[in-house]
Amino acid sequence: MLRPIEPEELPPPVAYRVPWTIDRSDAAHPGVTNESRAPADFVRVFHADADGEERTELWGQVLPGERMELCLCTADLDEVVVTVAWFRQQDGLEYVWRFVV
């Protein structure tokens, strides 16, 4: 049976700002920059090509201030949704964020 969670049972989640900024000046090659003060670990980027085939780029660790370039040359830029997944060292949790160009 479901029951409400009492406030004292679970600490409130700590807000975490998404560390990424996107430079869309070249839509086929957006720049993704880690704007946080902490590295992002095991960063992966997913998107579909125009033919529907899924693409994955493994970036590994992205350091603070580091800029990565994503190649979307084979994607339909009007339809593509990019997913970025990474781990934080502070809590070891995986985070996922999506954006469009």
**How do the domains of the chain map onto residue ranges?**
7-100
User: 34: Cβ–Cβ under 8 A, 6 or more apart, which residues?
Assistant: 19, 20, 40, 62, 63, 64, 65, 66
In this predicted structure, what is the pLDDT of residue 12? 63
Model pLDDT for residues 74-86, shown as the tens digit of each residue: 999 999 999 999 9
Q: Yes or no: say if 47 and 84 are a contact pair by the CB < 8 Å rule.
A: no
| Domain over 7-100 is classified CATH 3.30.70.20 | no
Q: What mean pLDDT comes out for the span 51-71? A: 95
Nearest to 84 by CA among 101, 74, 28: 101
| The residue type at 1 | M
pTM above 0.85, yes or no: no
Rounded percentage of the chain residues whose pLDDT exceeds 70: 88
